[in-house]
């Protein structure tokens, strides 16, 4: 009996063999440049140290070190999760590029990125690469939050106006209760720098797991549903935009993020083999990743 998908598979193998010519700047970004990676890593260590030091009430060098080491380890594990899975599946990728940002940033950095070949061989490779980053980062984030909370102080609220507070996700609330127990009325936890690094890591993990476009959650969703993921992405983006409009008076920071998502688009480029579905084990991990997103998302991250 003839294979009705033979033409599709022939096209797939041809696409594997043909490599389109790229402009010089795309080739430069995709090639590993260890010197540049190392320089950006050192600068990001410096910018996060400065952020931790400058925001410390006591201007403590130790606080700067605690915060910097925590946030750097979370970002490094996240990006290396992607990178190592790229190596496993034979997908070309660069080493992580860290982005220092010492001013006008609540974290002292804009994170880290790797450049990958956009032509993923199949949905299983796309899933492994997409989910490895958030899960690897989460494995460091949760201990950072827990041990950072144990080192944090519980003090009475001053009641002064203009003080900034952090919103709490469901997962962060659970870890706070586990580390400190129920708090007396009128008291709150003043986060140790390591706990704040963990809070930042959890916040970024939730954003990355949004099932939209080129975010890690978008990769996971496309690997799970294939072309049907476009409808889910549209609905998610519409709901997220509605949330941003409703919460705009409390946190206007969602507005530029929504514009950024619209600019990048909600469509996901297809893999070279988009016929092979995920196996049951990967499906369970995908569902777990979206549960992590729900538990980690903070609707109002900062408020006065």
pLDDT mean for each 10 residues of the chain (304 residues): 46 43 42 81 96 88 96 97 93 92 88 86 94 96 97 79 78 95 86 96 95 91 90 90 87 87 79 87 96 95 80
pTM for the structure as a whole? 0.85
135 CB contacts (<8 Å, ≥6 apart)? 81, 285, 289, 292
16 inside domain: no
157 inside domain: yes
209 inside domain: yes
- Can you give the chain as a three-state secondary structure string? CCCCCHHHHHHHHHHHHCCCCCCHHHHHHHCCCHHHHHHHHHHHHHHHHHHHHHCCCCCCHHHHHHHHHHHHHHHHHHHHHHHHHHHHHCCCECCCEEEECCCCCCCCEEEEECCECCCCCEHHHHHHHHHHHHHHHHHHHHHHHHHHHHCCEEEECCCCCCCCEECCCHHHHHHHHHHHCCCCCCEEEECCHHHHHHHHHHHHHHHHCCCCCCCHHHHHHHHHHHHHHHHHHHHHHHHHHHHHHHCCCCCCCHHHHHHHHHHHCCCCCCCCECCCCCCHHHHHHHHHHHHHHHHHCCCCCEEC
269 inside domain: yes
223 inside domain: yes
273 inside domain: yes
258 inside domain: yes
Distance of alpha carbon 226 from alpha carbon 217, whole angstroms:
13
Q: Quote the pLDDT of residue 18.
A: 38
The predicted-structure confidence for 224-268, as pLDDT tens digits, reads as follows 998 888 889 999 989 998 998 888 888 888 888 888 888 877 777
253 inside domain: yes
Distance of alpha carbon 284 from alpha carbon 281, whole angstroms:
5
* Domain span holding position 224: 33-303
Task: Please state the domain count of the chain.
Answer: 1
The predicted-structure confidence for 276-302, as pLDDT tens digits, reads as follows 889 999 999 999 999 999 999 999 998
């Amino acid at each position: 009996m003839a294979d009705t998908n033979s033409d599709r598979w022939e096209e797939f193998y041809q696409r594997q063999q043909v490599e389109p010519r790229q402009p010089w700047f795309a080739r430069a970004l995709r090639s590993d440049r260890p010197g540049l990676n190392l320089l950006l890593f050192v600068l990001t260590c410096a910018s996060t140290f400065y952020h931790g030091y400058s925001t410390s009430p006591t201007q403590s060098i130790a606080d700067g070190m605690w915060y910097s080491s925590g946030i750097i380890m979370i970002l490094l594990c996240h990006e290396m999760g992607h990178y190592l899975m790229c190596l496993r599946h034979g997908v070309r990728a660069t080493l992580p590029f860290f982005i220092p940002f010492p001013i006008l940033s609540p974290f002292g950095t804009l994170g880290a990125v790797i450049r990958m070949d956009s032509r993923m061989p199949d949905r299983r490779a796309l899933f492994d690469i997409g989910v490895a980053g958030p899960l690897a980062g989460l494995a460091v984030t949760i201990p950072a939050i827990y041990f950072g909370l144990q080192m944090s102080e519980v003090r009475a609220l001053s009641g002064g106006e203009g003080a900034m507070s952090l919103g709490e996700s469901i997962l962060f609330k659970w870890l706070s209760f586990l580390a400190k127990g129920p708090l007396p009325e009128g008291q709150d936890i003043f986060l140790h720098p390591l706990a704040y690094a963990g809070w930042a890591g959890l916040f970024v993990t939730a954003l990355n797991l949004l099932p939209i476009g080129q975010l890690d959650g978008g990769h996971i969703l496309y690997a799970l549903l294939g072309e049907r993921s476009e409808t889910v992405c549209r609905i998610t983006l519409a709901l997220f935009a509605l949330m941003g409009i409703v919460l705009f008076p409390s946190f206007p920071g969602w507005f530029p993020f929504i514009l950024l998502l619209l600019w990048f688009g909600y469509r996901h480029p297809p893999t070279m083999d988009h016929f092979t579905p995920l196996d049951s084990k990967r499906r369970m991990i995908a569902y777990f990743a979206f549960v992590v997103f729900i538990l980690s998302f903070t609707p109002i991250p900062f408020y006065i």
